[in-house]
Every structure is written in structure tokens, then in C-alpha cells.
Chain A
Amino acid sequence: MMMYHSWDSQNAWLRQILSRNFLYMNRATAGASGLADDDWVWVESHHGRIRCQLKTMEGCEPHTVWTWNAVGRQRGTSGLAEDASEATAGFLLNHLISELLPASGARRFTNSDPVTGQAAWFDLRVRVRKCAPDETGIQPTFSAAKRRPDDDGSRPDVLHWTRGE
């Protein structure tokens, strides 16, 4: 929750708490599937697949995987250095979720609550597979965004904060 609702500024102090995300999974479930901390995994849905890194935990329902929203960023955005861990290791689950349900006859309905239109983010079923040894790094990736003309490009490693400055 440290970045939740505070993503926009890529806040230097909050980034020190968390600057990349993992896919989190119940430890016993992971063990039974031959998965362990820091493994690279493919996460596959009806809509697509992503590659990311795994962490296990005990406080997770055995059939559930989850991650933090919006920690991963496109390289070159949000005032971050191009090698920022948000861009090199952080990832989105959004690629796995379709805004449309699979076709039903000629129509595709919204992936939402049929009464209220609420986006059904949390209804996704996924398969988690261990990657081959040579498969590392997040997928998908996007090319680095171009720097804006009003951006001086300064990406300080240390952001000093002293009074009156």
C-alpha cells in the first residue's frame, strides 16, 4: 500500500520502501509446484502471458496469487532513470486481463459486473509455470519513452532535502 494512490510522483521516500514488485504465492503451493523464491515464472491467462519473478509467503490463500498494482513502469516515464527497478523488474498484471470477455456468439461483453459495470479485475484465473533456465527478465517490455522537452533529464541518485532549499 506504500505506493497505492501515490504512484504519480514516483515519490523518492516511498520508492525506498518498494521499488519493484514480485508475484506472491502461498509457500506450500509453490513448494508443491516446484517453485521457490526468486524463480522466474510465466503467468498465463486466457488473454496472454507475462514473465516475472516469484516470492512465496505463508499469509496467502493456497489458490491465490497477487501483486502490487502499478509498481512496474514503462522505461523512461515518470521521471525515473532508465535503469530504475520499476522499469527493469517491476511488472503489470494488466496484460493478462481483457476488458472484453471471450466471445459469446457475435458479441463480446465487457469484463465487468453485469449490474454495475464494475471492472472485474480480480476474477482472473492464471497458470503459473517455472521458466526455462535461460528465460529471465520481465515480459512484456516496452521501448524507452522519449524525454519531454520540459524535462531537464536530471535523475538524481540521491534527492537531498534540506530546509530552505
Chain B
Amino acid sequence: MSREFIPEDRAKQQTHYTTCYMCACRCGVKVTVDNGHVRFIEGNRSHPVNHGVICAKGSAGIMKQYSPAKLSKPLRRRSGSERGAGDFVEIEWDEALDLLTARLAKIRATNPTQLAFFTGRDQMQALSGLWAQQFGTPNWAAHGGFCSVNMAVAGLYTIGYSFWEFGAPDWDYAKYFMLWGVAEDHASNPIKIGLDKLKRSGAKFVSINPVRTGYSAIADEWIPIRPGTDGLLALALVHVLLKRGLVDWEFLIRYTNAPWLVVQTPGMPGDGLFARDGDGNPLVWDQDAQRLVNGTLAGIAPALYATRDLPDGRRAKTVFALATERYLDDRYAPETLAAECGVPAQTITRIALEMAHVAFNETVELLIPWTDMLGRTHHSVIGRPVAMHAMRGVSAHSNGFQTCRAIHLLQMLLGALDGPGNFRARTPFPRRIPMRTLPENDPALIFAPNTALKRMPNGYPARPEDLVIDADGRPLRIDKAYSWETPLSAHGLMHMVITNAVNRDPYPIDTLLLFMANMAWNSSMNTAEVRQMLARKDEQGDYAIPFLVVVDAFDSEIVKYADLVLPDTTYLERYDAISLLDRPISEPDAAADSIRHPVIALDRDVRPWQDVLVELASRLRLPAFSRADGSRKFKDYRDFIVNYEKLPGVGFLAGWRGKDGDKPLRGEPNPKQWERYIDNKGFFAYQWPEHMRYYRYANKDYLEFAEKHALRCRSSALPGRGCTPAGSRRIRGTASVSSHTSTRCRSGIHRSSPARPIAPGIR
């Protein structure tokens, strides 16, 4: 049985650096190719995401390449066969593209909303979203609605960045790490590397999760919480911190809207909105001047606790006064919530005190001078080294948005955001709060034939006027996103598309285009009935969803329901841009993006979906993809990535811009950009200098740099917007902590251990 050992001829092998796609992490991988076949896959040691670490899934990418499930030819449902029977005929690409182009052109020329385009584990949402916008349909989203939009929206509306891709725990300095709920694949190797660091440094790792699998297995403390009660637990922790005064008062005054006044007119218009001056600036009560002032100005002393009458006679209270009133209530006492959460009251109190101890007594100080938004320099950065992470576990509940907000409130009270040892932001985050991107909601544009939308289909509403509804309040989107039913549905509701389309609620559609989403199986709720809906016919014998296009590299249950199957390539066979315009791979200390490029040749009749999208856009003469004479602007996806500019000098890839490749982040297109990425092992990283690494919601140098390089909107607010981003606030922390708290505090709050000053230089 012994087998002769034949050493491999390394000279005949090639190595290529590209990006993994076995989960959502996007680690750098090194692929060894032998005679045109994948020999093995290792981690890329220089890659900012995984530093060479690779997991079982990543190295098993070989078997993805050689899977029997690969699709290999465009397919059309056989004429006369029933949808779902899986009776297909093979067709050529020309026929497939002609057929689809004709259908899409007709939809676009009549009513573009008749196309619904939804994508699953799409790592190129910036392209698919642009395509939908240019086509003119609002009915586009990726899978975030059934994934973790709660985590994303709560973060972006609360702190300007969010868990998973838009932030990361600071594994190097954290001394206390709380992992809320299941998060194993978001991210995978980076969290493993991070937990290893925590174990080595002696930090405490607390896992709050009904099930002790995955990372929870190595937690120092596992808290088996009852599902869906994480928000209550977070607020019980808030209760303990408030009750004992274990709060970073100066952080709240300087960097949050805690001192802003909120109108209190229950049952009347305006109740619960910020009190603003005539120019839309938020009002605070200045303790020194003893009057209402613009809360964004320098040289003021905002009261954290205040109840004041506004000039028009309305009563207003500070945000913090309202929060304190609510969360000091016995409703949020550990003793009250213990049974609901399944966590003993003593445990809740102890965890709160442990966090506070680490935040305020084990503070990290780094001697890094930096400048805040007021232009004042500080000689060091101070970190309250408590870090948190959360993902699907807390998200996938009907209370997940509020749960994530509560977790962010907890971090704010501790002053534990984007400092050393905290949950830190990853470029292009933090963004303004709320973000300045609004979803398209103009019915005249949405229903206009042959017209691109002006805004993207998805965005971040801030006012009722931003909702995507008609004059009667009815949803304008097939998934009813941004309607009163789910107003901040920033990732759409892919899980509702089939049901709504079949129910013609709010309207029927013609074509449903699905990319990489198994909606006839595990990605749908109510799977058995959804399958019936996909095959449902009306009284005339026509399918309720007349045409279903499925794009995927692999066979699955949804493929069986397709009228047209467009086979995609694997991740080792194509170009991809993992873009800062999309779902970036930045790390807290570096802006970063990366690519994939073909490391093995195609052996079957499939095409990269990105190329097909560019091809369809060119055939349909979508404006961003066409010249004035209607001819195509881009040869293919590779060409598109190099030459498309979202803004002057801003494209999908940020590295080696400028015609000579010497301009990082912003610069004119570089025809050799792909080659430069390949030469650099598949990624680009722009390291932040030390003084731009922390407190980036308030870090003057970072914010100015980010605006200049279009990593963040400029300061000017949108017309009609009065919101003031935290980053541009002008609040001077002249008064001491005690002068705020001792004079304004409500009874029942103990201030025996006020937070230490954040940075002596501020005072």
C-alpha cells in the first residue's frame, strides 16, 4: 500500500495572491497553482485582515473550485415545462443576453419598478446598486435586511460607525471584551487573532450568548442569556452605571449630544425633537452664561442635566436628563430584569462594576499628541479599554435595533468609543450622523421610463419627508422599505420581496433578478410556501412573478425555479474589487481595499457576473456606462474598475491612483492599477499616522483628511437639514465634571467616583 514519494517540482508551480470568498471576512490568501490546478491555499502573511492566518474554510477553497455543484452553462426553462420542475435547456450566452436585454429594455421603457434586483452574499454592492440606480428601479437591495441591518443602522445612527465591517475591537489595548450574541463569521480570522491577543494579555473576555459555541467556548465568562433580552441586559448595565455615577461625564459633554435640549410637548407636534435656534442649530443650556446657546459653538459650558423653557414657551430637557429618568427607573434595575434575561442580578451588577473598573481605573494613556475639532491639541490619547462586538445574534430580533442602540449607549457612558482599547472605527467610517445619503423617493423619477434615479435606491432617512412613499403614504418599493412599516430599512427587506410581489402589494412586478441568494431554501422564511409562491399562477395561467432570473456559480434550490440561469465564476476565476465605496476591509489603523484576479483559467461556459452587469448596462445604454452617442464606455468589469469615477479622482479602488500610480486614495484613473494591486499581493493599505487613529468622530486632522479624499461628506449639511454631526460640534469642556453634576444632577445619582479627565490637555 505504500506510495512512492515524488517531491513536487516547485519550479513548475506558480503562486498568486488574491482574496478569499469562503465566508464574509475577505482574508488575503496565497494560492499555489500547479499545471493550471489549485495545489493549496495559504494565508497571505502581509495582508491587513488576516496576517497570514487561514482557517479550515479558507484552505478548503480548493474543494469549492472542484465542487460537483458548479454551474457550467446558461440555462433556460424548457418551453411548456412548469417552473420549479427544474427542466432546463442549455443555451448560449448570446441568446441568454439577448433575451434578458430585450426584457429589461422593455421594462425600462415602460415602468422601471417592474424590475426587482436583489443580491445575497454580494461583495460588490457598490456596482449592483449603481446598476439599479442607472436602470431606474428603486427595487434593489442586498441581503442586509435578513442579515444584520439592525446592527448597521443602530450603529450608523448612533455613533457614526457600526459593528462588523465599519469598526473593530482594539485587540491590542482592550482589557475587557464583551461579545454580544453569535458573531462567528463576522469576522472570523480577525476575531480569532484578536482573542488570542486578549488571552495573552490577560484581558477578560465575556460572552453573552444563549449557546456556548464558537468563540464562547474560550470565553472567561459565559452568560447564557435568554434570546432577545440582550437589550434589557445592556440597559440594566446602564442602570447600574448611572446609579453609581460610573460615567465619563466629560466624554458625554464633549463628544455626544447628551447636553442637547429635547422638546417636551407630549401629544403635540415637535415632541421629542431637538430644540433648535432659527438657523437649525441645537440648543443647550449654558451654565456660565445662564442662557440658551447654540450647542455647536465654542466657548460654552453646556449643562448635562437641565430642564428649561424655550423662548416660545415650550418645555425642553437635555438628552441626558431624559435618559437618566428612564434608565434609573426600577424597570431597569438588575433585580427587575434578572428573570427576564435569565441572568442573576448579582451577575449583572458585577459585570457593570467590572466594566467601570477597567474603564476608569485601568485607563490606557498613549503619548500621541492630537488635535480635536476645536483646534486644540492634546498631549496624549486616553483609552477606557472596554471593547464590544455584536452581530447577527443581537440583530436578528424584532427588537434588535434598540438592542444595538443600548449597547452603543453603554459604550458612550463609559467613554469607550474609538479610543485605545475600544470598539474602533474603520475607514470610511465614522460618517456623519445621520449619514448624508438619502434613498431615492421621487415618484416622478421612480416611475419615469428610461430614466436613471438621481439618488441611490438605498440610503439613510432622517425625516418623514425622506421616506420612500407616495403622497398617500403608500410604499413605493416592492419590499416596502423606507415606508412607515419599517422607516429606517437601510438594507431593504429581501425576505419580503417574493411574498409582496405575489400578493401584488404594493404592486406586481415583471422580473425578479436574484444574485447569490437561495430564496427557495434557507434564505427565506416560510420556505415551503415561498416555493409555492414562486410557482404560483394567476387566473390567466401566468406566473405571479412573470420572469425569474437566477445568477450563481453553484446549483441550489432557487436555481430550480429560474426561468433563466446565468452561471457565474468562482472567486479564483475572476476580477473583484473589495472597495471602500462598498463593504471595505479597512482596519482601525489603516484604510484598505483589495482585489481578486483570475489565478486559474475557466474550464466551462460561465462568465463573471460583474462582466455581465457591465455588458447589460452597456446594451441598455445606462448613462453611467455609456458615452453621449450611446456607445459603451467600458469594455468590461476590469476596465470599469479602472476608469469609472464616482467623483473626480474617486473610484472603486483607492490604491495607486493617478496616471503614474503615485496618488493614494484620490487621483485620476491609473491604467496599470490592477497590476499594482497584483504586485502588492492583492491589497492596498493606507496607514493612518498616529495622530489620526483615535476619536475620529472628533479628530480634526482625520476629519479634514477624510473630507478632502471623499472618505466622508463635506461639512455643509444637505439643504433642509439642521442636524449637526458630532464631529463638527464646537463644545468647550471648560467646566469641571463636578460642577456639572453637582449642580444639575437629579437626586438619586451618586457621584462618588467621577470619571477621570479624558485628557488633561483639554482642560
CB within 8 Å of B: which residues of A? Answer: 1-2, 4-14, 17, 24, 47-48, 59-64, 66, 69-70, 73-74, 77-80, 92, 94-95, 97-100, 109-123, 140, 142, 145-151, 154-156, 159, 161, 163-165
Contact = CB atoms under 8 A, between A and B. Distances in A.
14 contacts: A5-B57, A6-B64, A47-B526, A64-B211, A69-B522, A78-B69, A95-B528, A99-B495, A100-B526, A116-B154, A120-B398, A121-B146, A147-B86, A150-B72
Contact of A113 (B397, B554, B555): B397
B486 A112 contact: yes
Interface stretch (B105-113, B221-229, B587-595): B221-229
Contact of B557 (A14, A122, A145): A145
Nearest to B492: A117
| Residue from B146, B480, B556, B557 having most chain A Cβ neighbours under 10 A | B556
B396 A118 contact: yes
B679 interface: no
Interface of B: 8, 22-24, 34-35, 37, 39, 56-57, 60, 62-64, 66-73, 75, 85-90, 121, 145-146, 148-150, 153-154, 184-185, 188, 210-214, 216-217, 222, 224-228, 342, 393, 395-402, 479-481, 485-493, 495-496, 499, 516, 518, 521-522, 524-528, 530-531, 552-557, 559-560
A94 B524 contact: yes
Q: What DSSP secondary structure best describes chain A's contact surface?
A: loop
Contacts of B402: 115
Contact of B401 (A6, A79, A116): A116
Contacts of A95: 526-528
Contacts of A119: 145-146, 396, 493, 495, 525
A148 B398 CA distance: 39
A9 to B, nearest CB: 4
A83 B385 CA distance: 52
A64 to B, nearest CB: 4
A58 B410 CA distance: 30
A163 B14 CA distance: 12
A109 B222 CA distance: 35
B525 A117 contact: no
Contacts of A109: 485
Nearest to A63: B226
A122 to B, nearest CB: 5
Contacts of A120: 396-398, 400
Contacts of B530: 99
Contacts of B212: 59-60
A120 B530 CA distance: 17
B153 A116 contact: yes
Given A146-B85, A154-B68, A116 B489 contact: yes
A111 B212 CA distance: 27
A110 B485 CA distance: 8
B23 to A, nearest CB: 4
B135 to A, nearest CB: 22
- Of all A-B residue pairs in the complex, the 4 with the closest CB atoms, nearest first, are A59-B212, A79-B69, A117-B489, A117-B486
